[in-house]
Every structure is written in C-alpha cells, then in structure tokens.
Amino acid sequence: MKISEIYEYVIARGIEKDPRGADVVAAQLAREKKKYEEMKAEDKKEFDTDRLANPYSDTRVLYGDPSAEVKRVLVGIDIEVGEVLLADRLAEKGSPVDLIMSHHPEGKALAALHDVMHLQEDVLARYGVPINVAEGIMASRIGEVRRGLMPINHNRAVDAARILNIPLMSAHTVADNQVNSFVQELMDSEQPRTLGDVIKLLKTVPEYAEAVKYNAGPAIVVGSKERRTGKILVDMTGGTGGSEDAYAKLAQAGVGTLLVMHMGEKHRKEAEKNHVNVIIAGHMASDSLGMNLLLDGLAEKGLEIIPCAGLIRHKRNQS
C-alpha cells in the first residue's frame, strides 16, 4: 500500500465508527469546503487542505512522500525520538521500516488536538444534554487544552523522522472511534447489571485481559462492584478528557455509569459528587484495542505490523 492509501483507509474507518454519525461528519466537511472556497488567496496558503477530506485534526501524515510504498510498519501508542531511533536500528539489522505509525499525535497533529474535541459536544447531545449546554461547557475546556498545548515541543519526533528519512504518521481519533464503538456495542448487547459485571465483561476482551497482567487493567474508581450501572456511556473518543462540568448534566440526563480510558482526579471528584459511577478501562489497553481494529484491516491488505511503545497487539482475523 502507499502511505496515501493507508491514510485514506484510517480516515474512512474513523468516519464509519464516528459516534456523531456520517451525516454530521459530512456536514462538517461541507462547512470546511465552503469556508475554504470563500477565503482570500493569501489565507488559502495557510489553510490545512487535509481538513477538506479529513475531519480529524489529530490524524495526519507528518513526514514522508504520500506515494511511497509500504510493506512494514512500526506501530506504537506513543512514538517519540527513541522509537524513531528504534526504526533506524531495525534497518541496520536488516529489517527496514517503511512507515512509523503513532496513535497519540505528534507534530501539527498534536498542536491541533483541541480541535477534534468538538466531537464531544455531539456525544453529550446524543445522551440528552441540550446542544447549547454541551457547547457551552465544552468551550472553556477546549480553550484550556489549546493553551496547554501551546508550549509543547511538538516536532521532536517528526524532526528525528525527517533527519533519518523515515515516514511518520499519527492515527488518533480514527482509532479512538473504533474502541468507543466496540465497547459501547458490547455494553449495549450484554447489558451488565452491576459495575462488577462490567469489569468481568471487559476482561473477556483480550487487550484488557492482557493489561491485567501488567497491573493496568479495568478498575472501578467511583462506585463499588455491587452498584447497579444504570445507563452506561462509553466515553473514549474526542481528543482528550472533556469538561468536569459535564457530569452534573449527564446525571440529569440519566447516565448512571461512565466507562472511560482514564480520568483526572478533579474530574473523578465531580463525577462522584454527582453520583455517576466511573470505571477506568485502562489507557494503553483501550488505545491498543482501537488501533488493533484498524491494524487488522491493514494487515489483511498485506502490511506487516511491528508493535512497540505500549501497543498490545491482538489479531482478530487469524487467517
């Protein structure tokens, strides 16, 4: 496959599993196209034209010729300079890597992470929070994340890849959409009654079962095993953690349990104050599940996947 084909594939899969629905995504892309068409020539020079076909600002080809052919991909949850050097070392040992794929964004994809958080507004609206309220409570959080990203040295890994001439891309929300959909469908299908039942159900998923061995498996952080779940909301996509003001609104909308990848202490306390149960499924395990659901399709197309940097690789298609 060419790098461009891999990029187009992960975007298509991300849209397919987007919790907002294909119509909302199509409307977003149409707005970007209209905005671009109405821009002055000098403004178009600064516009990221990937936005016309890719609704996820945190998923980008960061370095490399899009027409380059790829046979072997080094894939990790976090790709830093060390992993780029690892790819170079593999080449020295006779196993060259044609592409490095990170889950967590780097470079310009990291700098624009905040933009994808608007996805969370529609998710809150789907669960009963009025859209005006959802947009209001997310606005300050999106601004906070944007400002927090400003001082970061975004391009370290990208620069290393450029110097060593190894293509690099990030696949973030496109993968998070996979795990969000997979786990929500699992919960909706099995209807676990208690938080303990949720934990047992998660452990039937290979990535979560493997994470237990590393002391990084699912855990209840608000509630107890005996507590009943009520309505379960899987919240594993949309860039990063949302607004702590959301928990009161979700409780009012009837959500009983949040199932998340990770949660900060301030957010956990707000959920507890509003009597919303919280289960942390596990960050690396959840990210691995999302990536694996993408990688299986790429492997079927003939790519060799070399997992690293926290990726718990599990193949669902064994052929």
| Sequence ranges of the domains in the chain | 3-172+286-308, 178-283
Q: What is the pLDDT of residues 24-37, one digit of tens each?
A: 999 999 999 999 99
The CATH architecture of the domain made up of 3-172+286-308 is 3-Layer(aba) Sandwich (3.40)
Q: What is the pLDDT of residues 138-163, one digit of tens each?
A: 999 999 999 999 999 999 999 999 99
pLDDT at 317: 74
pLDDT at 242: 87
For residue 319, is pLDDT > 50? no
Query: Per-residue pLDDT averaged across 177-197, rounded?
Result: 97
Annotated binding-site residue? 78: no
CATH assignment of 178-283? 3.40.1390.30
Q: Which two tokens stand for residue 130?
A: 């009025």
Identify whether the C-beta of residue 173 lies closer than 8 Å to the C-beta of residue 14.
yes
Q: Would you say the C-alpha torsion 97, 103, 106, 108 has a positive or negative sign? A: positive
Q: What is the pLDDT of residues 270-317, one digit of tens each?
A: 999 999 999 999 999 999 999 999 999 999 999 999 999 999 999 997
Helical spans, DSSP H, in the chain: 3-16, 22-37, 41-44, 81-92, 107-111, 119-126, 131-149, 156-164, 173-190, 195-202, 206-213, 246-252, 265-273, 283-300
Q: What is the pLDDT of residues 56-104, one digit of tens each?
A: 999 999 999 999 999 999 999 999 999 999 999 999 999 999 999 999 9
Annotated binding-site residue? 283: yes
In what side-by-side order are the strands of the sheet with 255-260? 219-222, 277-280, 255-260, 231-235
